[in-house]
Amino acid sequence: MMDNSLVATNVRQRPLRTLISVVGVALGVVLIVLVVGLSRGMLKEQGRRNSNVGAEIIFRRPGAVSFTSNFGLSLPIQYAQRLSTIEGIENVSPVGQYLKPSDQGFGAELIDGIEYESYAKVSNIRIVKGKSFSTGNEVIVDPTYVKNRKVKLGDSIELFGKKFTITGIYEPEIGSRIKMNLSLMQSILNAQDRATFVLVKCKTNFTEQNVAAEINQQLPGNQLLFVRDLQELYEKGSSALNTFLSVIIVISIVISTLVIMLAMYTTITERTREIGILKSLGAPKRFIIVTIEKEALLISLLGIVFGYVVALAGRFLITYYTPLFIDIETKWMLVAGLCGIVSGFFGALYPALRAANQDPIKAISYE
């Protein structure tokens, strides 16, 4: 019990150093929780919206690593005409997608280029206010876009360096939150008669597996995705995203470890005489190492709790004031907490070993 009281006393006697150390650990926790939550949350939200489309199959050209990385108009639109002749297919609709930087200063924004009539046949989209777009610079948006951007019918937004008028609000949330005329997107991007993918609606008496098999037979070498699998594909993310998240975790561990190491090293220097007295009184090396490690772990636990509080508060503020979606999973909170503990332990290890190996006579005479 003596070393526990000593740990608590050491923490209380140096409040500023303790606070800085706690903030350092908390920074690592917040970095993991918010960045991972934002990355995975936005993907899950996009996957949910794409899964609501109503079609059963997505047809696209091969070569994309994942569904989330295939933006741009590279698919000849003639494929849509060819697909419509295949037995078991009721309707098809070509869709163009363009990813642009968000006008809010961070992130990116997806735009759908659609043929409204064919799109309505493969999905359950409907205009709830206003009207659909025409061939001019017009767009339709969903209610969430209206709420987050505080816009209304008749307002203008900037896309491709031009002003577009909001002519309608659609439901439900499907695909991107902004939709425009596909032919206009093709013209702006100089990609006439091209799309990103084709949505395929199957006839009621045909299964999507049978239709997919028929498509593969008549149009081999292309890529088919079942819409029912999109949510899972988005949640898994791409290999690049998973690598990015791994880098974030490593960076957070390094930051927390360096903060703890610096704090503990400074502490050992300040307590050189105290450590010398303890060793002269017969305190074993193990006692000194355990005491310093306990102090570091206590600071880490305080940092983890503080980091959780900041992360949850940050999530509330970000989701309330921006259109971003953050999904904080228990798994990643546990990972962040474990990283905080690991960084605290290893950050204090070298200072603890250095303190335990000090010569007691030199330590007592240290000024």
- Which residue's structure tokens are 């741009």? 72
Average pLDDT over residues 304-316: 91
Instruction: Check whether the bond before 172 is cis (ω within 30° of 0).
Output: yes
What does the mean pLDDT of the chain come to?
81
- The confidence score (pLDDT) of residue 94 equals 94
| Residue 2: pLDDT over 50 | no
Q: Which residues contact 331 (CB under 8 A, 6 or more apart)?
A: none
Task: Please measure the distance between the N-terminal and C-terminal CA atoms of the chain and give it in whole angstroms.
Answer: 30
Helices 15-51, 330-356: crossing angle, 10 deg rounding: 150
Burial class (CB in 10 A: 0-12, 13-18, 19+), 100: middle
Average pLDDT over residues 276-299: 78
Average pLDDT over residues 158-163: 88
- What is the share, in percent, of the chain residues with pLDDT greater than 70? 81
- The confidence score (pLDDT) of residue 71 equals 59
- Which residue's structure tokens are 């609501």? 52
E strand or H helix that includes residue 29: helix 15-51
CA neighbor of 324 nearest in space, from 43, 119, 134:
43
Given pLDDT bands bounded at 50, 70 and 90, which one contains residue 164? very high
Instruction: List the single range of 99-108, 183-192, 207-216, 313-322 with lowest mean pLDDT.
Output: 99-108
User: How far from chain centre, in Å, is Cα 200?
Assistant: 29
- The token pair at 95 is 């869709």
| Residue 209: pLDDT over 60 | yes
Strands 162-171 and 138-141: parallel
Given pLDDT bands bounded at 50, 70 and 90, which one contains residue 141? very high
For residues 314 and 106, give the distance between their C-alpha atoms in angstroms, rounded to a whole number. Answer: 16
Q: What is the pLDDT of residues 26-36, one digit of tens each?
A: 888 888 888 88
Helices 15-51, 239-270: crossing angle, 10 deg rounding: 170
Q: What is the pLDDT of residues 222-247, one digit of tens each?
A: 989 888 877 666 666 556 666 777 78
- The token pair at 220 is 């081999």
Half-sphere exposure of 301 (CA within 13 A, CB side): 7
Q: Which residue has the higher pLDDT, 155 or 175?
A: 155
Whether 213 and 46 have beta carbons less than 8 Å apart is answered as no
* pTM of the shown model: 0.66
- The confidence score (pLDDT) of residue 310 equals 92
Instruction: List the single range of 56-65, 202-211, 332-341 with lowest mean pLDDT.
Output: 56-65
Instruction: List the single range of 77-81, 196-200, 295-299, 349-353 with lowest mean pLDDT.
Output: 349-353
- Which residue's structure tokens are 């009281």? 5
- The token pair at 292 is 């310093």
Given pLDDT bands bounded at 50, 70 and 90, which one contains residue 154? very high
Secondary structure letter of residue 298 according to DSSP? H
| Residue 134: pLDDT over 80 | yes
